[in-house]
Amino acid sequence: MNVRPASLHRASAADGFKAAMRHLAGGVGIVTSGQGAERNGVTVTSVSSLSVEPPSLIVCINRSCSIMPVLRDQGTFGVNILAAGHRELADRFAGRHGVRGAERYDSGDWIELVTGAPLLSDALAAIDCTVDSIIDWNSHALVIGRVDAVQLGDGAQALVYWRGGYLDIGGE
């Protein structure tokens, strides 16, 4: 077997990992929780289906994120899968405009389905969840949610995050 040494840039494990993950395109979502002045939310790319029976998903959120105390207290959350037209909302909930907490909801049309978690009315999909468990893992928490209700939108293009920027995909 002929093994040749890698000639590409070598980085520390953490720096290399971050650089490698930038090559993994991810759908963009907003995780929401709370009600009224206690509402909070965060933009994420780390949402995945977990099982169909029972319907459940997993989302990874930094433990220091302002939504975590609300999510832990409320025990419910929403996952809003964003369409191409939601770039401004994605930035807003990512904290790029300095808007925090419930003020993030001043933009967008928000509804409730079953649990009372805020859901974006024109999301590609709005998924209403009850927290099944939260597993703390170093800097992040893995939040497992049981799906209570889903509203499907009719957007033609999805918002995707890749290499530090947004892309629109799908449609005709």
CA distances from 54 to 26, 50, 61, 145, 148 (A): 24, 9, 22, 10, 10
Domain 26-170's class? mainly beta
What is the enclosing helix (H) or strand (E) of 117? none
Task: With beta carbons less than 8 A apart as the criterion, state whether 33 and 74 touch.
Answer: yes
User: What's the pLDDT score for residue 16?
Assistant: 87
Condensed to tens digits (0 to 9), the pLDDT of residues 35-74 reads 999 999 999 999 999 999 999 999 999 999 999 999 999 9
Task: With beta carbons less than 8 A apart as the criterion, state whether 76 and 115 touch.
Answer: yes
* Nearest alpha-carbon partner for 92 in 30, 13, 47, 153: 30
Condensed to tens digits (0 to 9), the pLDDT of residues 136-151 reads 999 999 999 999 999 9
Dihedral sign from CA coordinates of 112, 113, 119, 120: negative
Furthest C-alpha separation in the chain: 64
pTM of full prediction above 0.75: yes
Pairing of strands 119-120, 40-44: unpaired
Reply yes or no on whether the pLDDT at 3 is more than 80: no
